[in-house]
Amino acid sequence: MPYAQLAALLAALATVGPFSIDTYLPALQAIGADLHVSPVEVQQTLTAYMLPMGAMVLWHGALSDAYGRKRVIVISMLLFTLASLVCVFAGGIQTLLLGRGLQGISAGAGMVVGRAVVRDLMEGPRAQRMMSHVSMAFALGPAIAPILGGWIYSTFGWRAVFVFLALLGLMLASLCAWKLPETHPPAARHPLHPGPLARRYAQVFRTPGFLLLTFAVGLNFNGFFIYVLSAPVFLMRHLHLPETGFGWFFIPCVLGMMGGSALSARLAGRLSQARTIALGYGVMITAAVFNLGLSFLMPAGLPHSVVPIALYNFGMAIAMPSLTLLALDHFPAQRGVASSCQSFLQMLVSAGAAGVLAPALWDTVPGLASGAAGCLLLGMGCFLLWWHFYHRNSRAAAAQPLEAASSDEP
């Protein structure tokens, strides 16, 4: 399969998760009115999606290690299509919750298994370039999805949003069945037996090098994510923007992330992964310092309250593909399980930001800037610990089976 086609297909698979959330958000009030339920009950459709998705990211990779990447992706996209149709024909909130739960079970497969596909097929700079291109599309999704969903809803009604998602799932299932190569041959597969599977998960979760890199990615992302979670307060209360003004924040931030991903792709093969990560952290540190200074010295406003966050995203996107690949390299024979654990841990870190960090900080702009800087320092600390203790052994670990690679003791 040509590089450009594979990159486009993996990018589309990675955006299924964000699209499943962001496309229907503009229609939440209409859904509540049509189904005669309260806003709180409609909000539960988000929870009904997120909880199964968080649980299933632990299993998508293991299933792909046992049954093959292609089969898991195709079946998941078909289930996603069916789940979207359940939402289309929902006559009550309970049926809609069921459909959203089924969407959550299936939507994360493309992101999790797609990472394993990249590492199955590619090494070194080529893998970094592919991950960067996929990250660009993943960053663009949250910016496009609400706009597209709002247009579909205002033109055709809220059920049409789920028709669109059903068509998206069916299209991706068809393309994967037709075009996607099977990158994990039967000889390399691992049976889905509870005992060995539990041991593989345990080995991944107790590998310090893998955990440090995974938490570095999650904490770096949280430096931006706390602003996403705080967007209604940050934009409307502090920046005095109307409800229609969210683009003043999200568009620059998405452009920053896309620019960083594009630069990371260009640097692949020209700079080592370590130097690329160092460049990313240099940009993030610069952005965090400016963000802190401006938030303490100037009243909140445009553009100075948004530009440093967009610059932070630029640096984060430079470093993220290399950090992700280095983490997966700890388990070359178990990339599916490792990718699942990576996604699960990053969602866990994001859940902490959603439940604790953002609500504690969003009352003041300096508080948000300090929280973002703190997340960056913790993430950079994780990377520096990995660099100090494990980088010399990373290539040797990547050449060993799981049992040997997981014994990362400093």
The one-digit pLDDT tens for each residue of the chain (410 residues) are 778 888 888 888 988 887 887 788 778 778 989 999 987 788 788 778 878 887 888 788 778 888 888 899 999 999 999 999 999 999 999 999 999 999 999 988 888 788 778 877 877 777 777 877 777 776 677 667 777 888 898 889 999 999 999 999 999 999 999 988 888 778 777 777 777 778 888 888 888 888 999 999 989 988 988 887 777 788 878 888 876 676 788 789 888 988 898 898 888 878 888 889 999 999 999 999 999 999 999 888 889 989 999 999 999 999 988 898 888 888 877 767 787 788 788 877 877 776 677 778 888 999 999 999 999 999 999 999 998 887 755 544 444 444 433 334 33
CATH number of 1-192: 1.20.1250.20
Cβ count within 10 A of residue 215: 22
**Exposed, middle or buried by CB within 10 Å (0-12, 13-18, 19+), for 410?**
exposed
Burial class (CB in 10 A: 0-12, 13-18, 19+), 356: exposed
Q: Answer yes or no: are the C-beta atoms of 330 and 210 closer than 8 Å.
A: yes
Q: Where are the domains of the chain?
A: 1-192, 199-410
* Rounded distance between C-alpha atoms, residue 118 and residue 133, angstroms: 11
243 Cβ neighbours under 8 A, 6+ residues apart: 236
Q: How far apart are the first and last CA of the chain?
A: 41
Q: Which string of DSSP letters, residue by residue, matches 108-166?
A: THHHHHHHHHHHHH--HHHHHHHHHHHHHHHHHHHHHHHHHHHHHHHHH-HHHHHHHHH
Output the pLDDT for position 393. Answer: 57
Nearest to 408 by CA among 389, 387, 385, 382: 389
Do 199-410 and 1-192 fall under one CATH topology?
Answer: yes
Q: What pLDDT, on the 0 to 100 scale, is given for residue 143?
A: 66
User: Do residues 112 and 60 make contact, with C-beta atoms less than 8 angstroms apart?
Assistant: yes
**Is the CATH number 1.20.1250.20 carried by domain 199-410?**
yes
Question: Which of 300, 287, 144 has its CA nearest to residue 234?
Answer: 300
Give the integer Cα–Cα distance in Å for 220 and 273.
Answer: 17
Reference 103, options 181, 41, 164; nearest CA is: 164
- pLDDT value of position 166: 96
Residue 125: both structure tokens together: 């700079």
Q: Distance between CA 71 and CA 44 in Å, rounded?
A: 31
User: How many of the other CB atoms lie within 10 Å of CB of 367?
Assistant: 15
CA 30 to each of CA 46, 249, 339, 341: distance values in angstroms, whole numbers, following the listed order: 15, 25, 37, 37
Quote the tokens at residue 148.
């597209």
Q: Are 249 and 304 in contact (CB under 8 A)?
A: no
Whole-model pTM: value is 0.72
Q: Which residues of 27-50 are buried (b: 16+ CB within 10 A; e: fewer)?
A: bbebbbeebebeeebbebbeebbb
> Smallest Cα–Cα separation from 370: which of 211, 214, 230?
230
Collect all residues with Cβ–Cβ distance below 8 Å to 186 and sequence separation of at least 6: 68
* CA–CA dist 106, 79 (Å, integer): 6
Contact, 104 vs 52, CB < 8 A? yes
186 contacts 355 by C-beta, under 8 angstroms: no
Q: Which H or E run contains 245?
A: none
C-alpha 325/C-alpha 335 separation (Å) is 10
Q: What is the DSSP letter of 333?
A: T
